Amino acid sequence: VLKEPLKDGIKILLLAKISFDALHGLSIQILDIDPGYTLGDLEKEKQDTIKRLQTEHVFNTNKSIALPLLPQRIAIISVETSKGYADFLQVIKTNSWNYKFFFMLFPSLLQGDKAAQSIISQLNRIKKVKQHFDAVAIIRGGGGDVGLSCYNNYNLAKTIAEFPLPVLTGIGHSTNETVSEMIAHTNAITPTKLAEFLIQKFHNVSVPVKNAEKYIAVHAKQILDYATQQLLAELKLFKSVTENMVTNGKYRIAECIGELQQHSEAILLKQHREIKHKSIIIIKDSNNYVMHKRVQLTQAASAVQYSLPRIFKQERIGLKHIEEKIQVMHPENILKRGFSITTLNGKLVQQIKNIKAGDLLQTKIYSGIITSEVITTKKNSDE
């Protein structure tokens, strides 16, 4: 009747029978429950949660977050064995348009006392990696309307309201909305409807895009056809204009050739006259130049003939002086003056450091060669 399991903290009004058994002791048998009493308490919790969220101005916060045009990356809070989760995946994976989605499951309890805290924990996990997702989907199905009071929990509802990504709910029931569904960005009554909502989001983009493709294709063809016609017309006009230009050009070239021939003949005749005139001048000037150079050559020959004996005499005297100097410097003449030449092993001795005791030296003087053995050597004091 309550559509909620009995749990700690729930208030109920019941009709019961107390009995005592010698073996089992005292026992109580519930005969009837007044649902109005308990439902009123659950409704009060729901209304208190709504009022607190409205007072804190967060009731519509998650709804104000923009859902991406193509919400493709979905973080799912559900349980792998949930029938609703299976229905959701089946609808998504078998969509007729082959739209592709990326899902990641964050397992959580979906009903009962610990469900609210379990869902909050998974939302906190998703928040740490929010950049990898476009939205969060809370999916529950297969449990009917039983155990939904956890979705009226204030802490869970506030976490959803303030979550940085759009939160989508598909809890799967047909009764009054829970607070979590009210404050979520988008609520679908079943996981199947939530899957259809996501597919429709893709469809809302796909259909206009395909229509735009058709529109572009049709108009592009029209533009190309028109451009082709314009091009053909311009080509025809261009051909006509160029043919006229070529014809006019031929006439102009013929005229230019005639004018060129006339001008070239006149220029050639003028140049021929100038060349003939200059050749006469050149012949005259060259005769004068040759005559002038002949006179200069005759004068130079006379000067050479006059100066040559004197030059030869001076050079002969100079050569004689050089010959005398060479004779004086001749080795034999040097030896005659008392000088000598000392060698060691055929090499001229210039440094005493190259001589040692026992060496055989050859000393050449004017009258002969003296061979001597070195006893001792002594360097000059200034060396």
Which range among 20-34, 238-252, 279-293 has the greatest average pLDDT? 238-252
pLDDT tens per residue, range 45-74:
899 999 999 999 999 999 999 999 999 999
What local confidence, expressed as pLDDT, does residue 36 receive? 44
61-88: average pLDDT: 96
Domain boundaries, the chain: 59-189, 208-322, 333-373
Q: Does domain 59-189 have CATH number 3.40.50.261?
A: yes
| The model's pTM | 0.53
pLDDT tens per residue, range 343-358:
888 888 878 877 888 8
Instruction: Give the integer Cα–Cα distance in Å for 330 and 231.
Output: 107
Instruction: Give the integer Cα–Cα distance in Å for 1 and 303.
Output: 157
- Would you place residue 26 in the very low, low, confident or very high pLDDT band (cuts 50, 70, 90)? confident
pLDDT tens per residue, range 109-129:
998 889 999 999 999 999 999
Comparing 283 with 16, the larger pLDDT belongs to: 283
- Buried b or exposed e, range 364-373, using 16+ CB within 10 angstroms: eeeeeeeeee
What local confidence, expressed as pLDDT, does residue 89 receive? 97
The answer, yes or no, to whether residue 10 has pLDDT greater than 60, is no
The answer, yes or no, to whether residue 78 has pLDDT greater than 90, is yes
The answer, yes or no, to whether residue 236 has pLDDT greater than 50, is yes
